[in-house]
A = this chain, B = another copy of it.
Amino acid sequence: MAVTLADVAARAGVSSATVSRVLNGNYPVAGSTRERVQRAVAELDYVVNGQARALAAATSDLVGVLVNDVADPFFGILASALQGEIGAGAAEPGGGKLAVVCNTGGSPEAELTYLTLLERQRAAGVVLTGGAVESERHTAAVSSRLARLAASGTRIVLCGRPPLAPPDETLPVMTVTFDNRGGARRLTEHLLSLGHRRIGYVAGPVDRTTTRHRLEGHRAALAAHGIGPDTDAGAISLRLTVHGGYDRESGYDAALELLRRDPELTAVVAANDTVALGVCAALRDRGLSIPGDVSVAGFDDLPFSGDASPALTTVRIPLAEAGARAGRLVMGRQAPPPGGVATVATELMVRGSTAPPASSGS
C-alpha cells in the first residue's frame, strides 16, 4: 500500500530512526546520510503518516475552530484570519497546523459534540468564536469540556465572547473579546444626539452574550439621556425591542413588527449589519425612505455595509485583526495578554443611513 518509514530506511540503507531524524531535523545527522535519505524519500514519494507521528509523539497537527456558520461573513472573516495564522508556514516542518472549522449553527449541543470530536483528535488548540449561549447548564458543560482539553495540553482561546466566569478562571483559557457594550452605547448616543427619541431595537437571539451586551449598551445610552426604563419614553423604548435571529429575514420581520408597535419611530438599531439590511428592505417596502423617514444602524461593519445605499452607519469590529490575534494565541506565537483577556475596541462608523429625524428638521 502506502510507503512507510521502513521502506525509505531500507532504500537508503539506514535504520528507520535515522530517517525519522532526517525528516524532523531535530537530531544531528551526517550530511551524506541525510542526502541519501532525502533521495530515497523523493524517489519513493514518501509522505509521513500524520496519525502515527501524532500517536508516537503525542502531538497533533489539528486546531479546532468553532463558528456558528462560515457562510456568515462575520464568522467567515474570523475563520479566514484564524486559518491564516494557524496554517502559516505549513511548508516548513512544524510550521503550520490544520484548521478544523466546525459549524455549530449556534447550537449548544453541536458545540459540545465538536468539542468532544476535537478532544478525540487530541487537538493542539481550540478556538471558540462568536457569542456564547448563556445558560447555566451549557456554560458548565462547556467549562468542564474545556478544562479537560486544557488539562491534556490543548490551548484554548475564546474569540468574540466574554471570558469564562471567575470561578473557572483557573483554566488556562485566553480570551479576545469585543467591546460590544461600548460600541452599542456609542451608536445609540449617536442617534440620540441626532435628536432621535423613538428608537426601535432589533436584538439578536435571546440568551446570547453578544445580544445581551449590545442591548445593555443601547439601554445604557438611553438611561444616560434620561430615558431610563422608569420614564415614559423609556417604557416606549422597552416596548420597541424585538428579538430575532442574526439573519436578514429576522431583520425584515422585526422591522415590520416595530412599525406595527410604533408607526412613529424614527430610528432602528439592528443586532448586526445583516439584520440591518433586512430592516432597510422592510422599510423601503413600506415606502419609507432611509434616513429621511427612518434612520437605520447596524453592527460589525461587514464589507458590504459600506456599499449598501445609503451606506450603513454601524460599529466596526476589527474582525480580521482579532481573528489573527486569536490565531497567534492558540498557536503559542504570542504571549497571552495580561489576565488572559484582551478587549478589542469597537469604533462607531457614521455613514449615510442615519440622520436627524424629520420632525426635528422642520
Contact = CB atoms under 8 A, between A and B. Distances in A.
A303 B251 CA distance: 14
A248 B304 CA distance: 10
Interface string A146-169: 001000100000000000000000
A240 B97 CA distance: 44
Contacts of A91: 109, 113
B70 A76 contact: yes
A119 B49 CA distance: 8
B87 A79 contact: no
A79 B277 CA distance: 23
Interface string A86-98: 0100110000001
A52 B77 CA distance: 34
B90 A113 contact: yes
Chain B CB within 10 Å, residue with most, of A55, A99, A307: A307
Interface stretch (A30-38, A100-108, A130-138): A100-108
Chain B CB within 10 Å, residue with most, of A71, A87, A119: A71
Given A45-B148, A307-B281, A87 B103 contact: yes
Nearest to A95: B113
Contact of A2 (B50, B79, B152): B152
Contacts of A73: 71, 73, 76
A122 B49 contact: yes
Given A70-B83, A70-B101, A102-B83, A48 B2 contact: no
A286 to B, nearest CB: 16
Contacts of A84: 103
Interface string A297-324: 0000001100111000000000010000
A79 B71 contact: yes
Given A90-B113, A304-B304, A308-B309, A122 B80 contact: no
A278 to B, nearest CB: 9
Contacts of A76: 70-73, 76
A45 B72 CA distance: 34
Contacts of A320: 71
Chain B CB within 10 Å, residue with most, of A54, A80, A119, A248: A80
Nearest to A278: B307
A152 B45 CA distance: 13
Nearest to A112: B91
A335 interface: no
Chain B CB within 10 Å, residue with most, of A47, A122, A308: A47
Given A87-B114, A90-B113, A277-B304, 4 more contacts: A47-B120, A61-B121, A70-B76, A100-B100
22 contacts: A1-B152, A2-B152, A50-B120, A51-B51, A51-B55, A51-B60, A70-B76, A71-B76, A71-B320, A83-B102, A87-B102, A87-B103, A90-B114, A91-B109, A98-B121, A99-B100, A100-B100, A100-B101, A304-B304, A304-B307, A307-B308, A308-B308
Q: Give the top 3 A-B pairs by smallest Cβ distance, nearest first.
A: A71-B80, A76-B76, A304-B304
Interface of A: 1-2, 45, 47-52, 54-55, 60-62, 69-73, 76-77, 79-81, 83-84, 87, 90-91, 98-103, 109-110, 113-114, 116-122, 148, 152, 248, 277, 280-281, 303-304, 307-309, 320
